[in-house]
Amino acid sequence: MTTKYTSIEDLLACDRFHTDEKHPHIVVDSRRCAACTSRPCLTSCPAHLYTQDLQDGSLHFDHLGCLECGTCRFVCAVMGKQGIIQWSYPKRTSGVQYRYG
C-alpha cells in the first residue's frame, strides 16, 4: 500500500516525540529575551514553538514538538541576542524520531 502525503504538515504528523518534560533541551532566558527587538525565533522555527503574547509582548516557548533542527539557536545568535537560547540535543532515547524524511 502506498500512502500519499500532500503537505509538510502531513509528513510532520508522522513523526514521534519522546519528550523529556523534566529536562528541556532548549532553555530560553526570558529576562534577556524581553530586550530583544528582532525576535527571529518567532518566524524561523518550522514547528512554530515560539509565540508572542499579544497583550504584553512576552515570548513563550514550549520544547514539546521540537524538530531539533537548530534554527532557533542559529538565528538567535546571529540576529538576536547571543546567549538567550541554551540549546543542546535531548538526552539519549529522548527527542524526535523522524518517520518520513
2 or 21, CB closer to ligand SF4? Answer: 21
Give the type of residue at 19: T
Among 70, 89, 91, 100, binds ligand SF4 (CB under 6 A): 70
Using rule CB under 6 A, residue 71 touches ligand SF4: yes
Among 23, 46, 79, 88, binds ligand SF4 (CB under 6 A): 46
x/- track of binding to ligand SF4 for residues 4-43 (CB under 6 A): ----------------------x-----------------
Using rule CB under 6 A, residue 83 touches ligand SF4: no
First to last CA, the chain: 18
Among 11, 19, 32, 68, binds ligand SF4 (CB under 6 A): 68
Cα–Cα distance, 73 to 83 (Å, whole number) = 9
Cα–Cα distance, 34 to 15 (Å, whole number) = 32
